[in-house]
A and B are shown apart, each in its own frame.
Chain A
Amino acid sequence: MTEPLLRVRDLKTYFVTEHGSGTARAVDGVSFDLYPGETLGLVGESGCGKTVTSLSVLRLIPEPPGHIRPGSFIEFAGRNLLTLAPRELRAIRGNQIAMIFQEPMTSLNPVFTVGDQIAEAAIVHQRLSRRAARARAIEMLKLVGIPDPAQRVDHYPHQMSGGMRQRVMIAMALVCHPKVLIADEPTTALDVTIQAQILELLERLQAELGMAVMLITHDLGVVAGSADRVVVMYAGQVVEQAPTPDLFARPLHPYTEGLLASVPRLDAPPARARARLHGIPGQVPASSDWPGGCRFHPRCPYAWDRCREEEPPLLDASSGEPGSHTVRCWLLTEPQRRTTRPGP
């Protein structure tokens, strides 16, 4: 098997809480690999730690109040990103690993033209002249499907629609042809017809440029259509990790199962269209106060004594290659306890 491009091991990113008294363990021992050319979906609800994970990879966590704990390890191209000097890190950030954010409205600088913002990374990292960088910016705008790129290059963000701004963000991220693109909820702020355009664009560019994409989203539909593998996060931890077809066909963690049962389905047959949704009782706990034992046990329909007392490790549930499907749940050791799902 090919070597991973990015290897995250036991990542712990903690924050000092507002009153200075407690610690929010936003990301608490996360490990995963990203392989060349693949799309990895990182899924979970608000507060599960998926965005903090992605920001930690590029060390974009504000310190203080945040800090990445010693013992965490993020390997890219044979080096630990967490111990690099700021200068070395800058050579990688925006160059070999690039990022696009959820809010195309607020992540662009309103006082510079989009051309200047796209060209900046090429000038800094590739030492292009201003003229060459401008030509590159026009080329990038064309690549992301913006009409009249030679005129648009001199426009300001406020002159563009939300979908266009997200295309500009993608052009900015890809200008140095990164090996890894981290896309944090890239379509959440967009309407569904514009979301379809952006997802299609990302798929096309990934195929053309051969980069690996880490797609962070709360939308299981987006993951099902775009990701090769999925990592499901809950309460700062990875709770399940599997190839996409396997995860949707055989969700093993009760949280994954509940999440899938919560989604209203457009493809539901008419007879089931108005049926009750399952939902998950309760809500995500606060990151300063994760429950003991399995962190999902207060909301889990199958929980028993062991779940309340002992935190489960990631257990191997693969039907194919060992380690391809892992689940953080004691049910794997006592499958007979997975009875028919209790009613909502």
Chain B
Amino acid sequence: MTSSASALVDVQGLVKHFPGERAFFGLGRPRAVVRAVDDVSFAITPGQTLGLVGESGCGKSTVGRTILRLIEPDAGRVLIDGLNLLTLGSRELRALRRRMQIVFQDPYGSLNPRLTVRQTLAEPLAIHHLATGADAGRRIAALLEEVGLDPGFAASYAHELSGGQRQRVGIARALSVEPQFLVLDEPVSALDVSVQAQVLNLLADLQQRRRLTYLFIAHDLAVVKHIADQVAVMYLGKIVEWAPAPRLYAAPRHPYTTSLLSAVPVPDPMAQRPRIVLTGDVPSPAHPPAGCPFHPRCPHPKKDARCRTEPPALREVAPGQLAACHYAEEPL
């Protein structure tokens, strides 16, 4: 997970704090700063998928957006193929944007309702001077076919398409500029399960065919298990566990990962497992608890004063596996 020369995406010490809103219709004193992303580091090898998982408000989507500079980070370093994204000027940044794209969760909100599918896909081709006119038409037809849509859909508007079809258009739009790296921000969570399976298969095929590198952001651990090579678990703006996917699912070391895995319902009445039910809600990222951020909800029997005062470092607890827990050697 530490930076390596071979990584396509290398993120070090990423920080994004949002200023608190002012109370009383914007006239009062500002509220506490929301520490959405708090010193996050990771690297992704070309052709691999990093799954970034966590619950609402853990900062996973903010990570995805800051590393594309859709949101400006406050600190950190983001290298894409060795180029530091955060120090680039606007012209260089635009050139680099061609190589990294994003697919959003909501296939209803992320397509312009006033554009046809053809216009939606022609725009990035024109912006990056890749194709115009009949040439663009041919490329659009080929893209639609590649994402499993009939080229006849080019004349349709977003509202004429189903959720799964719209998400395929969103993927085609991201692919149109031939990127190397895709941020997939909850790309299947708005879809029905039978359609979700189709889109996951499509993403796996595209990755293989085009040697794409993915950052796959999701809250669904079963989906991530299906698609990721490496998994990072976030809690309150920090990565609390990192491991190769088979390792994370077979032998989690952080009590939060263990609890999260035990809470996922398994579609088999004969395979019901004991659930670890965490008490309470996720604390507000504006007021993270002192010490280990997970300590107020932690079910670990060894939990003690150290957990309440000393923030645990993310450290290697097994080969290739990192966890931020004082008692990671004695997993739940």
Contacts and interface: CB of A to CB of B under 8 A. Distances in A.
Contacts of A197: 277-279
B196 A262 contact: yes
Given A200-B275, A266-B249, A268-B225, A193 B197 contact: no
A199 B262 CA distance: 13
Contacts of A218: 192-193
Nearest to B273: A267
Interface of B: 55-56, 162-165, 192-198, 200-201, 204, 219-223, 225-227, 245-246, 249-250, 259-272, 275, 277-279, 281-282
Contacts of A344: 201
Contact of B267 (A163, A192, A265, A284): A265
A244 B266 CA distance: 13
B234 to A, nearest CB: 13
A140 interface: no
Contacts of A267: 266, 268, 271
Contacts of A245: 269-270
A222 interface: yes
B192 A46 contact: yes
B281 A163 contact: yes
B277 A258 contact: no
A221 B259 contact: no
Nearest to B246: A270
Q: Which 8 A-B pairs have the closest CB atoms?
A: A221-B265, A279-B197, A277-B197, A280-B194, A220-B267, A262-B197, A191-B55, A196-B263
17 contacts: A161-B281, A193-B277, A193-B278, A194-B281, A196-B263, A196-B275, A200-B275, A220-B193, A221-B265, A264-B223, A264-B226, A266-B221, A267-B266, A270-B249, A273-B225, A277-B200, A278-B197
Contacts of B220: 264
Interface residues of A, number: 49
A192 B196 contact: no
B323 to A, nearest CB: 18
Interface of A: 45-46, 161, 163-164, 191-197, 199-200, 218-225, 244-245, 248-249, 258-268, 270, 273-274, 276-281, 283-284, 344
Nearest to A220: B267
Given A220-B267, A224-B267, A273-B246, A193 B55 contact: yes
A225 B193 contact: no
Contacts of B279: 197
B183 to A, nearest CB: 20
B196 to A, nearest CB: 7
Contacts of B196: 262
B187 to A, nearest CB: 13
A283 to B, nearest CB: 5
Nearest to B245: A273
B219 A192 contact: yes
Contacts of B193: 45, 218, 220, 259, 262-263
B270 A266 contact: no
Which of A192, A197, A222 has most chain B Cβ within 10 Å?
A192
Nearest to B281: A161
Contacts of A260: 267
A284 B267 CA distance: 22
B99 to A, nearest CB: 26
A195 B275 CA distance: 11
A248 B270 CA distance: 9
Given A196-B275, A221-B266, A284 B56 contact: no
